[in-house]
Amino acid sequence: MTGILLLLTLPAGNAVDTASVEVTAEGVAALGTSSDIARDNAIKDALRKAVEQGVGTYIDSKTAVDNYELLYDKIYSHAQGYVASYEVIREQSDKDAGLYRVWIKAKVKTGDIQNDLVAMGILVSEMGRPRLAVVVGNEDLSYTLEDYFQEQGFPLVDLPTVKKVLKADEINLLLDGDKRTAQKVAALTGAEILITGRAEVSSEMKKLPYTDEKKTIYTAKLRVKAVEALTGEVIAVSSLKRSLPFSEEEVIKLVGDSSAKELSSEIVKKWTTRRNVIHIIIKGATATKIGKIKTAIKENIRGVSEVLDRGMVEGYAILEVVAETNPQEVLDAIREKEKILGIQVTAYEAQRIEAKAK
């Protein structure tokens, strides 16, 4: 049998998400003719409820109800696989009610739940389906990253669309993490999350161990970060290097998929723990006008705690509105009070509002 050389250069640390949480849950089952079977069924019920609590870490009750059948098929019915350990802390056989009850303390692997919720597209929907653009210094790697995020349910602003709004020298600025260029992409394409950075693919002939035979070894290096395009806030960073013999295409896919998985996990964590933030992109406003709009929003829109000026790019002013109420309530209030605010809403989606100054 011909030997195959596999070279992997792993990143520092462990990229696998091992997050977990300890919960208590009660399980109930019909007593029936066998208390042992009833006890087993009650434990299974308690494990499912423990996992339901883990799911609740990431999604609200309405989303859970709307997607209950999917959650049951994919997650709740395999609850034991999401529990790292558990102990029964109390149990009771209630013969009068015909029920067996158990109370357990369980360690639930929330990292695994998060990854599967992303794979099912539930978390991306819960996040408001933020649009994502990928620009790295290698088109093949850009498209590999795009494919991964698209499979996870992220709406994409494709690479040709991004390139269309940028000048030739601005691509390099974007790859180097220039904030104003990122804001320009956000304002003109609607991208809310930007994946950008440098990539390199190389090859060299190497002698295989224990033989005189030489093979071409392909190496892909990728250092990228995910940023909130309108603010420049860094959400996640991934730096990977992978090497494989025989196939440049395979090493590109390997490093691209590995990096995208890291970034996707961190993006979801960030968006599921963030405050309610709405971005308003306003066309045709002067600096003086923006100051008045900021004040008007804070004074007239219920639940708004802060309005931040994130600068102006290509004739568009960018405001970040932090609210205690949800984005839909903020949008409804802004549309109702356009005249007072001095703006006219022209488009809106998820946590982004486009408007023009009056």
pLDDT of 6 reads 30
SS3 of 135-171: the string is EECCHHHHHHHHHHHHHCCCCEECHHHHHHCCCHHHH
Residue 293 within any structural domain of the chain: yes
pLDDT of 102 reads 95
Q: How far apart are CA 328 and CA 303, in angstroms?
A: 12
CATH of the domain at 342: 3.30.70
Q: How far apart are CA 3 and CA 37, in angstroms?
A: 51
3-state secondary structure of 108: strand
Quick one: how far is CA 205 from the chain centroid? Answer: 39
Which of 257, 273, 289 is the endpoint of a domain?
273
Residue 4 within any structural domain of the chain: no
* Pair (234, 157) in one structural domain: yes
Which of 273, 289, 311 is the endpoint of a domain?
273
DSSP assigned state of 52: H
The amino acid present at 64, given as its one-letter code, is A
- Phi (first) and psi of residue 25, to 5 degrees: -150, 150
CATH of the domain at 169: 3.40.50.10610
Residue 172 within any structural domain of the chain: yes
* Pair (286, 250) in one structural domain: no
Give yes or no for a contact between 195 and 204, defined as CB atoms under 8 angstroms apart. Answer: no
* Pair (134, 263) in one structural domain: yes
* Pair (72, 145) in one structural domain: no
Residue 14 within any structural domain of the chain: no
The tally of CA atoms less than 13 A away on the side-chain side of residue 202 is 8
Q: For residue 283, what are the domain limits?
A: 276-357
Q: For residue 18, count other CB atoms closer than 10 A to its CB.
A: 10
pLDDT of 273 reads 60
* Pair (296, 198) in one structural domain: no
3-state secondary structure of 344: strand
* Pair (281, 199) in one structural domain: no
CATH of the domain at 40: 3.30.1660.40
How buried is 348 (Cβ within 10 angstroms: 0-12 exposed, 13-18 middle, 19+ buried)?
Answer: middle
* Pair (238, 283) in one structural domain: no
Residue 218 within any structural domain of the chain: yes
Angle (nearest 5°) at CA 339 between 189 and 302 = 85
- Residue of 161, 199, 167 lying closest to 181 (CA atoms): 167
Give yes or no for a contact between 189 and 165, defined as CB atoms under 8 angstroms apart. Answer: yes
3-state secondary structure of 3: coil
pLDDT of 16 reads 39
pLDDT of 275 reads 61
Residue 13 within any structural domain of the chain: no
Q: What is the DSSP string of 233-255?
A: -EEEEEEEEEEEES-HHHHHHHH
pLDDT of 128 reads 66
* Pair (186, 294) in one structural domain: no
Q: How far apart are CA 105 and CA 43, in angstroms?
A: 11
pLDDT of 24 reads 93
* Pair (52, 86) in one structural domain: yes
Which of 242, 273, 304 is the endpoint of a domain?
273
pTM comes to 0.63
pLDDT of 27 reads 92
* Pair (312, 323) in one structural domain: yes
* Pair (314, 343) in one structural domain: yes
* Pair (314, 267) in one structural domain: no
Alpha-carbon dihedral sign for residues 252, 253, 257, 258? negative
Residue 11 within any structural domain of the chain: no
Q: How far apart are CA 52 and CA 63, in angstroms?
A: 12
pLDDT of 110 reads 85
| One pLDDT digit (tens) per residue for the chain, 358 residues | 333 333 333 333 333 345 888 999 999 999 987 889 999 999 999 999 999 998 887 887 777 888 888 888 888 988 989 999 999 999 999 888 899 999 999 999 988 888 788 777 777 776 667 789 999 988 899 999 999 888 887 889 998 999 999 988 899 999 988 988 998 998 898 888 999 999 999 989 887 777 777 888 899 999 999 998 888 888 899 999 998 888 899 999 999 999 998 888 788 777 666 567 888 999 998 888 999 999 999 999 988 888 999 888 888 999 989 887 777 788 889 999 999 999 999 988 778 899 999 8
Q: How far apart are CA 309 and CA 133, in angstroms?
A: 23
Residue 67 bridge partners (DSSP): none
Domain count for the chain: 3
Residue 164 within any structural domain of the chain: yes
